[in-house]
């Protein structure tokens, strides 16, 4: 009996290691791709919009398909979908390392996001079957820490790999880590299903994914084609049509992918502001700051990775530390205070010039990381505490869809705004230089926003690099001011809607597991 128990415990630990490795590799894929974008642009070329899709394609498919993947795992088996997802992730990552063009990179990154959604949803659900009680809580805490490790050290690892082996080595490395996860998990994971699974809400999944894809495509294309161009207007209008179709479908199907009736709870609406706030004060900077440091500041990828630790390292400590304070202070108040701290860091950062020494940005970036880490560590628990217990599974499903899909949308909007600000700055700076084609200014502005000073100079050879850098600095400052406004609004929402909300979902063993409910809403509710 003792040997059997020991072997079971060992298998569970290896399954936990497998899922945690998967949790490390996913944010590594996200942040690593962002750090690699300047090197990819230098090697393969590509338009600014195409380079933007390197990150957005992954985030879009990953975020929009998380809940669909959870439903498929319930019906066809968590182990089966985990193996398929990880195997596809490995194959696509290897293919990315040999991609000949940016277009191929974009397509493969979208497929990689599909594989990531499948592996994370099924792996987390399978993990919930192996542990119970306090052991389950500890297991999912370790899972969350693994995400933090991937976010914190992803830029540094990516920078080191690019410096030594080139950008293609990033995708080879993620393939290797994913292979380890598959080796640890596949032989030991039990096959489990939800006997009451109702299948995938195909109409809801297709209309929801279409809404996100068309809106993101329109926002990314707008800087190149113009916000009033028929193509962009058609994309945005089509996204509204798909959104209306999604709402119509979800109010009529028996088992909707997203239960929209939960938005009748004001506190639930307030919870949705937390991931939106962290997207704009943190996730956007995870992508844009490396472009600034490398493309405009002239730093190497490894130096940029070291600087990014100031932003991301607090995510390893602050969420766990803040979770202990909810015994005395409301989670909503703590979240609001965190957003205000992040807003202070953003304002400080906005006053630091592009050409100033790297150490000048360390303290403001650290403040942003600390501030964003406060709601980050509380919002999962809040997502289940603000609705009736029997609705917890669907509530966390909506919340995590808002969080992950919102990251891609926030990034697309931020890049479009940065490009628009840069274009306005360039037009103002060049107004005395005689007539210059608007198309060339627009092209240079997009290159500047992407941190591509070399090709921006090629678009406007008669303009000195100093003018281009100055336009970028002004645009980035304007963007940071916008992010400050969104972050402060998120703080106000936290204070108004959540200041009296107790955090019960994360510390009660009778509450549904946050991660389990997130990836398998049908299972959590039955």
pLDDT at 342 over 90: yes
By the 10 Å C-beta count (0-12 exposed, 13-18 middle, 19+ buried), 379 is classed as buried
Which residues, 6 or more positions from 182, have their beta carbon under 8 angstroms from its beta carbon? 18, 83, 86, 87, 90
Average pLDDT over all residues of the chain: 78
Position 227 scores a pLDDT of 82
Q: What is the pLDDT of residues 42-77, one digit of tens each?
A: 888 877 778 888 888 888 888 777 777 777 777 777
- Which has the higher per-residue pLDDT, 185 or 414? 414
Q: What is the pLDDT of residues 3-37, one digit of tens each?
A: 556 666 677 777 777 777 877 887 777 777 777 88
- Which has the higher per-residue pLDDT, 519 or 470? 470
- Which has the higher per-residue pLDDT, 134 or 226? 226
By the 10 Å C-beta count (0-12 exposed, 13-18 middle, 19+ buried), 462 is classed as exposed
- What is the rounded CA–CA span in Å between residue 423 and residue 418? 9
Position 505 scores a pLDDT of 42
- What is the rounded CA–CA span in Å between residue 159 and residue 398? 34
| pLDDT (mean) for 89-106 | 91
Cβ pair 220, 56 in contact under 8 A: yes
Percent of the chain scoring above 90 in pLDDT:
15
Cβ pair 273, 493 in contact under 8 A: yes
Encoded tokens for 260 = 């929209």
| DSSP string computed for 89-124 | HHHHHHHHTT--SHHHHHHHHHHHHHHHHHHHHHHH
Confidence of residue 517 (pLDDT cuts 50, 70, 90): very low
- What is the rounded CA–CA span in Å between residue 240 and residue 232? 13
Q: What is the pLDDT of residues 235-275, one digit of tens each?
A: 999 999 998 998 888 788 777 766 676 677 777 777 778 88
Position 450 scores a pLDDT of 75
Position 280 scores a pLDDT of 92
């Amino acid at each position: 009996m003792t040997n059997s128990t020991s072997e079971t415990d060992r298998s569970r630990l290896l399954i936990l290691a497998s899922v945690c490795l998967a949790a490390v590799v996913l944010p590594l894929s996200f942040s690593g791709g962002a750090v690699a974008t300047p090197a990819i642009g230098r090697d393969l070329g590509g338009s600014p919009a195409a380079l933007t899709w390197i990150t957005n394609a992954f985030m879009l498919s990953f975020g929009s398909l998380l809940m669909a993947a959870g439903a498929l795992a319930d019906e066809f088996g968590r182990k089966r979908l985990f193996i398929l997802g990880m195997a596809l992730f490995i194959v696509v990552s290897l293919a990315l390392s040999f991609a000949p063009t940016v277009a191929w990179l974009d397509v493969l990154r979208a497929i990689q996001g599909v594989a990531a959604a499948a592996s994370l949803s099924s792996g987390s659900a399978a993990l919930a079957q192996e542990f119970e009680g306090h052991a389950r809580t500890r297991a999912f805490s370790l899972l969350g820490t693994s995400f933090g490790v991937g976010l914190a050290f992803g830029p540094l690892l990516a920078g080191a790999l690019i410096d030594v082996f080139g950008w293609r080595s990033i995708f080879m490395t993620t393939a290797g880590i994913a292979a380890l996860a598959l080796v640890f998990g596949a032989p030991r994971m039990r096959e489990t299903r939800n006997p009451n699974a109702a299948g995938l809400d195909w109409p809801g999944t297709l209309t929801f994914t279409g809404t996100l894809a068309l809106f993101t495509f329109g926002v990314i294309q707008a800087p190149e084609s113009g916000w009033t161009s028929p193509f962009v207007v058609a994309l945005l209008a089509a996204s509204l049509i798909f959104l209306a179709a999604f709402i119509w479908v979800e109010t009529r199907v028996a088992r909707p992918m997203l239960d929209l009736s939960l938005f009748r709870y004001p506190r639930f609406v307030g919870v949705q502001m937390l991931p939106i706030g962290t997207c704009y004060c943190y996730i956007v900077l995870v992508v844009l700051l490396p472009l600034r440091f490398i493309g405009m500041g002239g730093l190497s990828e490894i130096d940029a990775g070291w600087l990014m630790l100031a932003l991301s390292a607090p995510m390893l400590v602050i969420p766990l530390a803040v979770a202990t304070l909810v015994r005395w202070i409301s989670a909503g108040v703590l979240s609001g205070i965190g957003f205000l701290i992040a807003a202070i860091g953003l304002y400080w950062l906005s006053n630091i010039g592009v050409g100033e020494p790297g150490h000048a940005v360390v303290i403001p970036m650290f403040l942003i990381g600390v501030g964003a880490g406060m709601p980050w560590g509380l919002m999962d628990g809040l997502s289940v505490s603000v609705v009736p217990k029997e609705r917890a599974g669907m509530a966390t499903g909506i919340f995590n869809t808002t969080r992950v899909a919102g990251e891609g949308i926030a990034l697309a909007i931020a890049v479009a705004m940065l490009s628009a600000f840069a274009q306005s700055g360039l037009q103002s700076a060049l107004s005395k230089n005689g007539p210059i084609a608007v198309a060339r200014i627009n092209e240079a502005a997009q290159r500047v926003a992407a941190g591509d000073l070399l090709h921006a100079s090629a678009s406007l050879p008669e303009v000195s690099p100093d003018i281009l850098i100055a336009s970028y600095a002004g645009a980035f400052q304007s963007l940071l001011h916008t992010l400050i406004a969104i972050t402060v609004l998120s703080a106000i929402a936290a204070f108004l809607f959540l200041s009296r909300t107790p955090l019960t979902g994360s510390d009660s063993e009778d509450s549904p597991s946050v991660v389990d409910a997130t990836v398998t809403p049908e299972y959590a509710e039955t």
